[in-house]
Amino acid sequence: MSSLMNVSKNGDHKNTGLSHRGWSNWIDDLFNVDTFPTVLSNNFNTGISLPKVNIRETKDDYFVDMAVPGMKKEDFNIDLDNDVLSISSEKKVENENTEDSFTRKEFGYASFRRTFTLPDSIEDSKIKAKYEDGILSIQLPKREEAKQKPARTIKIS
Query: What is the number of other CB atoms lying within 10 angstroms of the CB of residue 113?
Result: 13
92 and 24 share a domain? no
Amino acid code (one letter) for 97: N
13 and 72 belong to one structural domain: no
Same domain, 14 and 59: no
Inside any domain, residue 118: yes
- Among the residue ranges 20-29, 65-74, 143-152, the one predicted with the least confidence is 20-29
| pLDDT at 18 > cutoff 70 | no
CATH of the domain at 132: 2.60.40.790
- More confident position, 111 or 153: 153
Claim to verify: residue 39 and residue 93 sit in the same structural domain: no
Is residue 62 included in any domain, yes or no? yes
pLDDT given at position 156: 96
Question: 122 pLDDT exceeds 80?
Answer: yes
Question: Do 59 and 36 fall into the same domain?
Answer: no
Is 16 contained in some domain? yes
pLDDT in tens, 40-95: 444 344 444 788 999 999 999 999 999 998 888 999 999 999 999 999 998 877 77
Q: Which of 150, 97, 143 has the alpha carbon at shortest distance from 121? A: 143
pLDDT at 22: 55
Residue 64 inside a domain? The answer is yes
Query: Whole domain around residue 27: which residue ranges?
Result: 6-43
13 contact partners, CB below 8 Å, separation of at least 6:
5, 6, 7, 20, 26
Domain count, the chain: 2
Q: What is the pLDDT of residues 97-120, one digit of tens each?
A: 887 777 777 777 778 899 999 999
Rg, Å, the chain Cα set: 27
In a domain, 155, yes or no: no
Residue 72 or 5, more confident? 72
